[in-house]
Structure 1
Amino acid sequence: MGVAVVKSRALAGMNAPEVVVEAHLANGLPAFTLVGLPETEVKEARDRVRAAIQNAGYEFPARRITVNLAPADLPKESGRFDLPIALAILAASGQAPGDKLKEAEFAGELALTGELRPVRGALAMALATRAAGCKLVLPAQSASEAALARGVETYGATSLLEVCAWLAGQGTLCEAAADADSPAATYPDFADVKGQAGARRALEVAAAGGHSVLMAGPPGTGKSMLAARFPGILPAMDEAEALEAAAVASLNGGFRPEHWGRRPYRAPHHTASAVALVGGGNNPRPGEISLAHHGVLFLDELPEFPRQVLEVLREPLESGHITISRAARQADFPARFQLVAAMNPCPCGYLGHPSQACRDTPDQIARYRGRISGPLLDRIDIQISVPALTEDELLASAEGESSAEIRARVEAARARQMQRQGKANAALGTQDVERFCALDGAGEALLKQAIARLKLSARAYHRVLRLARSVADLAGSDAITTTHLAEAIQYRRQA
């Protein structure tokens, strides 16, 4: 046979478009040509494939070899095409049967010894293969990840020789299975936190409704400690959410089976660039906001981030996704995260501290706070102060509620929301707010006063109503009372 065809998958954002690997052997001087818009990693497959075929005990054809990766206008990157290229060459030279090649899709990076190494995006590939109704053959490490996508026949292999034996009917490949006994997600416990009853309550409301939070306070008051414990009070992920979060992590090669069902928690340093935060590159990859999908993005020392970096958060906070556009490519990534941010009240950090004097001038404080734009602040639902602890609070033992107790209330409130409207309160649209967040006469009068005194924008008005709905859900109330509304309004006061 002079021509052979093997199916594989590329990565384009969250999608995994099909790639057909065609190998043609012709007479002439020995040569190995790769066409079809391959990038550097794919071009280097020529040397890896040659060594892997020879070390697996096969003969590398001394002929003119042309390998085409179709479609030609789709850029191909990474070493995932090593295995399909090697199989296509072996089938075209008659050293491996081609009957089973039509039944499955293949991907895997080859070592020079012929062993298979894991690839990025195995879960995204599995989801695409499930829609196509094919089998999937991957390196063993990647196969266990891909098996999380139910309904796909996924087989794991350790070497090129093992795959060729399976094609020839002289061996078997183990069907990969998802680890159903993954350890339960563990997080630091809220019981370790001393004092800060107000901040704990605000975070409980945020967890119940999916709201974003900004905590402002002097150094050492527990802002980072509270943020680290926040994922532990969020409702458990359902299978669809866990699959989406795992698929995004898989695109960067960062997914681990033991993290299945665990809410992502990302805490980038304040020196991170805008591309690191939202994603990008010639072949766009997800950034921190997408890696925090269905989880928490914690930005400590918020004013220390460059302003142009913070501004890129404005659209994803509203829409829940990010579109990265380049001259030749465009990629969409999900980004429905909960923002938890922390900052000091002033450059020195001690404004309003009971025992430390602030050394900053009003002008310095204004410039420091001005690093966070009004439009970004307007999109943060809860803005609270985290005061310094008193001596008695520091010396007392931590006797607060545990994360499990708080999470039970949060899950009950979230269940009410899903039953009533099918989504968290933070995701309510304008018409949803009018329908599910109606106020009585006293509530309307209170909100009117708040709009005038706090100069709330139209966006802030709707966010206050969503917050009040979350407070009411925690209280098990169908109606939003003035008590619920008053608590929501105090969370919108500038921290």
Structure 2
Amino acid sequence: MEERQGNKQHKGVVRLQAGVLDGIGALPIEIEASVRGSDFGHSMILGLADATIRESLQRIRSAFFSLRIPFPRGRLVINLAPGRQRKAGTQMDLPLAVVLAALGGAIEPAALRGKFFLGEVGLDGRLLPVPGILGLTELARDGGSDLLVCPHENAPLAARAGGDLGILPCGDLEEVLIGILKGKWKQAREVPEPSLLRADETRPHPSLLRGFEEEVPDLSRVKGQEQARVALCLAAAGGHNLLMSGPPGCGKTLLARCMQGLLPPLPEEQRLEVLRVRTSTGVENQRDLCEFLHLGRPPFRAPHHTISSAGLVGGGSPPGPGEASLAHRGILFLDELPEFQRACLETLRQPLETGLVSICRSKSRADFPADFQLIAAMNPCPCGRLGHPRLPCTDTPTAIRRYRARISGPLLDRMDLRLDLSPVPAHTILEDSMGDQPQSPALRERIHDLQRLQRERNGGVLNAKLSEMELRNPKHLVEKARKLLVKACLRDDLSARGISRVLRTARTAADWAGNEKIQEEDLATALHFYKREG
């Protein structure tokens, strides 16, 4: 961009609306900028800006020099209002750059009205993608902006959440300023869907989508674990939590991975919910973004057992989402459950009940969605051989009790289904035939139909989230089932939460069997999978 000679520097204050990230959302701020005097002096940024914003002036100055854009002369003062709110993020680079361009006389300040800018500026003027694009787009849309100007990489997601908001993807700062000068952004460009192939393609090739499908194992690969198949289908259909216990190598991890293939694709609204959390933690990988947008597969998160409490449920300063929130609308798989820190596991108790993580700090507060299914796996004892048909257990009763005590009673009470697995015989594993067991796609279709039935009947929620009032409704339970539940309560000393979870699982078993009311066999199935550890 050739520097125009004789540009008159703007003498007043230039204002522009922008936004900063706040958890998974964004907060509105106003940029005010002015210059004093005519000689270059020390620049000031007011309003609790962090290092990323303070450093942006150096990036912008270098970009202006590379593109021959006049930089404002004089002592530069920038205020970010409101002053009480801490501000961070490289998404402020582009709005600061256009404000400085207006101060320097390269563009007219009036041309910025109704426009929302975001993006990181490179030293040569390139625009780089930024995290939190969905939250920032919603802020621009709800704030009355007409047009959002952003980097090319952020444009596909911005177009998904923008509604009537115009989206203008740009590659560099020069393209943005030329658009302002020549008025080329009166009509936003059509934003293509992200693609794994060439830039001119709008959908990935079907062979790539088949590759995505093959990454999740099919349930037909599970051999000799009929009870596990039943438990997995019930958990997927009703949104129930599942705890699997068994010796090493009996298929716990494989079953957990198969669970993702049983869940129906997420609707568009829930896909945006998930991406709102994911993009707040960083720029989304193009391949993962393409897979999720086109398939809508629910998230599957499997953190290592050395994770901290902040990593699991969120934390930091400012607070950020953890694995529980990244598993929102999907599955959180905790392998080797007793190896996790007990304090870390206890932080899951609130989100398992409410579907929300609330983090409070002395100077900030953040709420993150965490509506996930918990799938956990563990060995029955420290050596892993307890209950093995051939290998003897080498642990003492005290060691076994201490090992199981790492999982608290309240957390165990929140597991709807508890499954004991045994090793599968070698001849069963080596069989070539898959038998007549249905494959994951067929089961997924049936589960999708059952979930639609549950939402229509339960007011929009699955059986795992049924209210206490609905559970106690006599119309759901036949008399024989009620008597069986009373006997089980007296025999096993079920807690109030335990009774509710048994009834929710029994409701799913009844739906799977096609029963309008919970029959005795449906309740027996739920009690069987809710049995306490011995």
TM-score with structure 2 setting the length = 0.90
C-alpha RMSD over aligned residues: 1.6
Q: Are 1:129 and 2:140 matched, yes or no?
A: yes
Aligned residue runs from structure 1 range 105-120, under 5 A:
105-120=116-131
Of the candidates 461, 464, 482, which is equivalent to residue 426 of structure 1?
A: 464
Which residue is 1:20 aligned to?
A: 30
Which residue is 2:260 aligned to?
A: 231
Q: CA deviation at 1:234?
A: 0.8
> 1:151-183 CA deviation, whole Å, 9 max, x = no partner?
132211111111101111265563434457464
Question: CA separation in 2, counterparts of 1:120 and 1:284?
Answer: 15
Provide the secondary structure at the position in 2 that maps to 1:206: helix
> 1:429-468 CA deviation, whole Å, 9 max, x = no partner?
1112223873222111100111112221000100100001
Q: Are 1:284 and 2:319 matched, yes or no?
A: yes
Aligned residue runs from structure 1 range 74-93, under 5 A:
74-93=85-104
Q: CA deviation at 1:132?
A: 2.2
Which residue is 2:199 aligned to?
A: none
Q: Are 1:149 and 2:187 matched, yes or no?
A: no
Segments of 5+ residues of structure 2 without an aligned counterpart are 1-9, 195-201
- The answer on whether the counterparts of 1:437 and 1:466 sit within 8 Å (CA) in structure 2 is no
Segments of 5+ residues of structure 1 without an aligned counterpart are none
Letter in 2 for 1:477: N
Of the candidates 149, 162, 175, which is equivalent to residue 162 of structure 1?
A: 175
Letter in 2 for 1:414: Q
Question: CA separation in 1, counterparts of 2:181 and 2:289?
Answer: 32
- The answer on whether the counterparts of 1:320 and 1:334 sit within 8 Å (CA) in structure 2 is yes
Question: CA separation in 2, counterparts of 1:385 and 1:363?
Answer: 21
Which residue is 2:269 aligned to?
A: 240
Which residue is 2:512 aligned to?
A: 474
- The answer on whether the counterparts of 1:227 and 1:340 sit within 8 Å (CA) in structure 2 is yes
Of the candidates 446, 458, 483, which is equivalent to residue 521 of structure 2?
A: 483
Which residue is 1:104 aligned to?
A: 115
> 1:364-394 CA deviation, whole Å, 9 max, x = no partner?
0000000000000001111111111123312
Of the candidates 476, 481, 484, which is equivalent to residue 443 of structure 1?
A: 481
Provide the secondary structure at the position in 2 that maps to 1:232: helix
- The answer on whether the counterparts of 1:100 and 1:167 sit within 8 Å (CA) in structure 2 is yes
Aligned residue runs from structure 1 range 182-221, under 5 A:
183=209, 186=213, 187-221=216-250
- The answer on whether the counterparts of 2:102 and 2:109 sit within 8 Å (CA) in structure 1 is yes
> 1:44-76 CA deviation, whole Å, 9 max, x = no partner?
112111111111211222311111111111111
Question: CA separation in 2, counterparts of 1:82 and 1:110?
Answer: 6
- The answer on whether the counterparts of 1:145 and 1:257 sit within 8 Å (CA) in structure 2 is no
Provide the secondary structure at the position in 1 that maps to 2:447: helix
Question: CA separation in 2, counterparts of 1:35 and 1:58?
Answer: 24
Q: Are 1:415 and 2:452 matched, yes or no?
A: yes
Q: CA deviation at 1:254?
A: 5.2
Which residue is 2:439 aligned to?
A: 402
Letter in 2 for 1:315: Q
Provide the secondary structure at the position in 1 that maps to 2:168: strand
> 1:402-430 CA deviation, whole Å, 9 max, x = no partner?
11121122112111101111211111111
Which residue is 1:257 aligned to?
A: 289
Question: CA separation in 1, counterparts of 2:87 and 2:119?
Answer: 14
- The answer on whether the counterparts of 2:155 and 2:191 sit within 8 Å (CA) in structure 1 is yes
The structure-2 alpha-carbon separation of the partners of 1:35 and 1:279, relative to structure 1 and needing over 3 Å to count, comes to same
- The answer on whether the counterparts of 2:130 and 2:283 sit within 8 Å (CA) in structure 1 is no
Question: CA separation in 2, counterparts of 1:240 and 1:432?
Answer: 26
Question: CA separation in 1, counterparts of 2:381 and 2:84?
Answer: 53
Q: CA deviation at 1:348?
A: 0.4
- The answer on whether the counterparts of 1:144 and 1:156 sit within 8 Å (CA) in structure 2 is no
Q: CA deviation at 1:127?
A: 2.0
> 1:191-228 CA deviation, whole Å, 9 max, x = no partner?
22222111111010001110110000000011001111
Question: CA separation in 1, counterparts of 2:191 and 2:305?
Answer: 40
Q: CA deviation at 1:29?
A: 4.9
Letter in 1 for 2:522: H
Q: CA deviation at 1:319?
A: 0.2
Which residue is 1:50 aligned to?
A: 61
May I ask how many residue pairs the two structures share in their alignment? Answer: 495
Q: CA deviation at 1:331?
A: 0.5
- The answer on whether the counterparts of 2:311 and 2:322 sit within 8 Å (CA) in structure 1 is yes
- The answer on whether the counterparts of 1:413 and 1:476 sit within 8 Å (CA) in structure 2 is no
TM-score with structure 1 setting the length = 0.97
Question: CA separation in 2, counterparts of 1:293 and 1:478?
Answer: 30
Q: Are 1:61 and 2:90 matched, yes or no?
A: no
Q: Are 1:6 and 2:16 matched, yes or no?
A: yes
Which residue is 2:397 aligned to?
A: 362
> 1:313-351 CA deviation, whole Å, 9 max, x = no partner?
000000001011111000011000000000000000010
> 1:250-301 CA deviation, whole Å, 9 max, x = no partner?
1012534212222111000000000000111111111000000001000000
Q: CA deviation at 1:99?
A: 2.5
Which residue is 2:197 aligned to?
A: none
Letter in 1 for 2:481: G
- The answer on whether the counterparts of 2:36 and 2:74 sit within 8 Å (CA) in structure 1 is yes
- The answer on whether the counterparts of 1:208 and 1:414 sit within 8 Å (CA) in structure 2 is yes
Provide the secondary structure at the position in 1 that maps to 2:33: strand
Provide the secondary structure at the position in 1 that maps to 2:102: helix
Q: CA deviation at 1:476?
A: 2.0
Provide the secondary structure at the position in 1 that maps to 2:160: coil
Question: CA separation in 1, counterparts of 2:514 and 2:191?
Answer: 44
Question: CA separation in 2, counterparts of 1:427 and 1:441?
Answer: 24
The structure-2 alpha-carbon separation of the partners of 1:71 and 1:437, relative to structure 1 and needing over 3 Å to count, comes to farther
Provide the secondary structure at the position in 2 that maps to 1:6: strand
Q: CA deviation at 1:115?
A: 0.4
Question: CA separation in 1, counterparts of 2:426 and 2:450?
Answer: 35
- The answer on whether the counterparts of 2:503 and 2:523 sit within 8 Å (CA) in structure 1 is yes
Q: CA deviation at 1:37?
A: 0.8
Q: CA deviation at 1:97?
A: 2.1
Q: Are 1:493 and 2:531 matched, yes or no?
A: yes
- The answer on whether the counterparts of 1:412 and 1:474 sit within 8 Å (CA) in structure 2 is no
